[in-house]
Every structure is written in C-alpha cells, then in structure tokens.
Structure 1
Amino acid sequence: MHREKKFCKESRVIKTSHVLPPDTNVHNTLFGGKLMAYIDDCASLSATRHARNPVVTASTDSVDFLSPIGMEDSVCLESFVTWTGRTSMEVFVKVIAEHLLTGERRIAATSFLTFVALDQQKVPIEVPEVVPETEEERKLHETAIKRTARRRQRRDESQQLADFITTNKPW
C-alpha cells in the first residue's frame, strides 16, 4: 500500500505582520521569543495542512537569527513541509524582514521544526509523502536526511541528560 503524496506548496503558509512597540526589546527590535512564537504558529499550520490531522511540535532544531527586525520593518514568515517520515514532518520556516519605506527585503531568520500527526486518541498516524517541485524545495528535501540524523542524535543525547539530571527541589 502506497501513502498518499502531496506537494510542498499544498502546505505553504505565509504570515506578514507589523513590528509594533509592544513586540520589541530594549534595542527596538522584534523580541526573539515573539518571533519564535510566530515561527511555531506558521509551522504548525503547515504541518496541519499537510497531515489534515492535529499535530504536535516534536522539536525545534534551531532558530538562526541572521538580521535584526526593527519597527521600520514588516516581518513575513513563509513555511512549508520539506520532508516526511512515517508519522513526522519536517517544516522549514524562512523569515523575511522588509523595510517598509524602501522595500528592501532580507532573510532575517531560518528555522526547522518537526511535527508529529495524531489521530483522535492522540496516537501518531501516517502522513502523506511530500513532493518537492521548486529548486529551493528540492534542496531542502535532499538535505533533510542529514538533519534528521542530527535530530535523532540530539534527542538521544537530551534523553541521556534527562535520565541523569535530578528533579529534586533546590531548597
């Protein structure tokens, strides 16, 4: 039996927002935590579109902040599923800052997240395979195996640390 297939574009989500004073830090740039919330929100929408089932965040590989996003900018996030395992999906998020007065655009951050699709009993379920079409999608799809291996190694290391550290109260 073959799994259903879906194109990357079917999971694409685009979200654009103003950068407003309550969203900024003492440097008048977008709070990193606020951007991380935007990233998780967009990525979860992409994963849900792909699976057409509820999803949970299994991991965030990294958020690489490449350029500050100021109040003179808009922040645009674009996410889509780049690779799938049996029940998991890797989602790529690119963050584009656009200076609203000049129109200059730059990549401000990138991130990879992993989601697992769940059935109504919250048990992981199979997801459709993903089919890349564009050069960008193909590159991300081809390099996903290496990221998946690093993700598994990091998770194993995190579990070993969790098994070692204590939950005792510090007082």
Structure 2
Amino acid sequence: MDVTLEPLQAQDTDAFAAEMQEAFQLAVDAASDDEPLPVLPRQDIDESLANPGAVALVATCEGRRVGGTVLFLDEETHEHECALLYVRADAHGRGIGAALWKAIEKRYPDAVAWTLCTPYFEVRNIHFYLSKCGFHIIDLVKDPETGPADASGKGSLMFSFVKRLDGRWE
C-alpha cells in the first residue's frame, strides 16, 4: 500500500480537523457506553497546528485522502513527536495506519527518536503502536490538560510511547 504525504493547505484545515475529530470520537464511543464530550476539541487541534515546530501532513492513497498527522519536529536533536495521527473513519482496517507511519519515517530519515501519547483505553491504538510501528510504552501519565474524567481519574490516563532509531535506551 502506497501512502503519500503532502503539507496541509490552509483551505483544507477545516476538513482535516473534522476528519480527525471523527476518527478520534469513534474510538471514544467504542470504549464507553457513556456520552463523553468530544475527545479532541477543535481548539486542541488548532493549538497543535500553531506549535512553532508543527508540521501538518495530509495522507493520501490512490488519490484519496485517508488520514493525516501533526508532527512536532526538533531540528536540533532530531527527537520528534507525533502530536496527532489519524486514519479516516471510512479507511480503518486496511493497513493504512501502518503505511502512514512508514511514510512518516521515510519522510524524516534523520529522526533518532519518535514520541507520542495515546489514552489508556485506546486498545486499538496501543496495539497499533506496539505491534505495527515498533514503539515501546515508557510511562503511564496523567494528562495535565484534561484532569480526571471521572472519580477514578482513568479518563485522563495516557500511555507515553517512544521509538528510538539510534539504538539508545535511557
């Protein structure tokens, strides 16, 4: 499967954000019988896009937009962060996520490490990053932005991942 990455054009930002919100919301809805607030408010997407090191990329396959990502690139250390990554809801289960990740790594061959976080309840994401992309869980952290979602605080727990490409483990 060939996934290509192109910079997000300003006129496509609304569609990009809406697709990302839909993909993230499906995961939350599948994990809970409750009616949660939007898992990814538009403000969070806009803040990620405004980050000084942010690069937003649209993923296409066979001429069709299938997902995208927002990366925070550190040009000094080459230790980059995948802030947001999504596969369109109508493109799940076809290997697009793995092809998207491979396209990211191909685009940034100078990377020595990648980091990211995903919610503790996102079993599909956890499996994807561990088994398909080669990441390792390094921590379970409380998201300081959201705080506890319920009395147990579970709604705010995030797994922190790293994929080191330089062979170093700290």
Query: TM-score scaled to structure 1, two decimals?
Result: 0.33
Q: Say which one has the larger Rg.
A: 1
Higher relative contact order (CA 8 A, sep 6+): 1
